[in-house]
Amino acid sequence: MLPPTVTTIAEVRRAGAAARALGKSVGLVPTMGALHEGHAALVRAARRRSGFVVVSIFVNPTQFGPKEDFAKYPRTLEADQKVCGDAGADLIFAPAVEAMYPENSFTFVDVSTLGDHLCGATRPGHFRGVCTVVLKLFNIVRPDAAHFGSKDYQQARIIVQMVRDLNVPVEVCVEPTVREPDGLALSSRNRYLSAEDRALAPRIQAALRTTRARAVAGEVDAARLESALHAELSAIPGARVDYARVVDAETLQPLTRLGRPAVAAVAVFLGTTRLIDNLPIAECGVRNAE
């Protein structure tokens, strides 16, 4: 059965209040739509945790840079409704941009430091947009728990920090990355890949696994791990490496030597499509194990 789709803040608030009046806890899965099995897994996790599950579908303009793909980001509401229904969502909240950002909106949420590296370095303002929309969604839906994917490792880490720093009464649940059988992390942007690039894309995850194997074999020099990772990614025909880093899993700061929980994180352009992926390479506490 398809869950109802509402577009106004008043409607989603009413539905949440009605669920709470019945003693149900509320779970939220924030998304930008173009849903795939990775999003469905988040909805199923929310279904297990909460009595009333809301999926938000909103392509958030404030997290896209002026030269990024906001206009061409896929919008597939009908198919998304089916994914949500099959995964057990109770309600879809799909607001218009004007509902989320009325004229004269002046307030933004900025989690300093954690947003400076990795995606933040090449996408200035991106996490400011993400945090702002996520906090707005938390205030609109008032969930008890919210579910995020560790595919967007930096994003999940920043949201955990925002909730901690601002005493937001929401439990943040970070779920494992869902992958294609060949290792490629599912992403709404995978549909943009040419057949040739799609065939090459699993090499991104393979390079991360090589990095982990090197760390397991005893390499502790982060710069050496990074340069080998960069080289392996650069060897993918047509690939342009945006970043290939080994960072502290908690602070996301560059590391000199392994010895603390660490994650290898990459962003790679194949054609015009920017793909991100990551893998914990040393014992890591802020995400579920993959």
Give me the active site residues, please.
39
Residue 118 lies near ligand AMP (rule: CB under 6 A): no
Residue 12: which of 80, 82, 75, 95 has the closest Cα? 95
Q: Is 122 in contact with 243 (CB distance < 8 Å)?
A: yes
Which residue lies nearer to ligand AMP by CB, 63 or 211? 63
Residue 41: which of 179, 141, 170 has the closest Cα? 179
Which contacts of 137-140 are long-range, i.e. CB under 8 A and separated by 24 or more positions?
Answer: 137/28, 137/30, 137/56, 137/58, 137/93, 138/28, 138/168, 138/170, 140/9, 140/12, 140/13, 140/93
Residue 220 lies near ligand AMP (rule: CB under 6 A): no
Residue 177 lies near ligand AMP (rule: CB under 6 A): yes
Among residues 9, 168, 178, 286, which is the contact residue for ligand AMP, using CB under 6 A? 178
Residue 81 lies near ligand AMP (rule: CB under 6 A): no
Among residues 149, 173, 247, 264, which is the contact residue for ligand AMP, using CB under 6 A? 149
Q: What is the DSSP letter of 248?
A: E
Task: Report 31-70 residues binding ligand AMP (CB under 6 A).
Answer: 31-32, 38-39, 41-42
Which residue lies nearer to ligand AMP by CB, 31 or 258? 31
Which residue lies nearer to ligand AMP by CB, 172 or 258? 172
User: Least CB distance from residue 35 to ligand AMP, whole Å?
Assistant: 7
Task: Report 268-287 residues binding ligand AMP (CB under 6 A).
Answer: none
The size of the chain, in residues, is: 290
Angle between helices 126-141 and 9-21 (to 10 degrees): 50
User: Least CB distance from residue 147 to ligand AMP, whole Å?
Assistant: 7
Residue 186 lies near ligand AMP (rule: CB under 6 A): yes
Amino acid present at 49: R
Among residues 128, 151, 203, 245, which is the contact residue for ligand AMP, using CB under 6 A? 151
Q: For residues 172, 176, 180 and 185, what is the CA-based torsion angle, rounded to 10 degrees?
A: 60
**Total Cβ atoms within 10 A of residue 203:** 21
Cα 249 off chain centre by = 16
Query: Residues binding ligand AMP: what is the number (CB under 6 A)?
Result: 17
Span near ligand AMP by CB under 6 A; candidates 105-113, 134-142, 178-186, 230-238: 178-186
Span near ligand AMP by CB under 6 A; candidates 67-75, 172-180, 208-216, 234-242: 172-180
Residue 145: which of 64, 50, 69, 244 has the closest Cα? 50
Interface positions with ligand AMP (CB under 6 A)? 31-32, 38-39, 41-42, 148-149, 151-152, 175, 177-178, 185-188
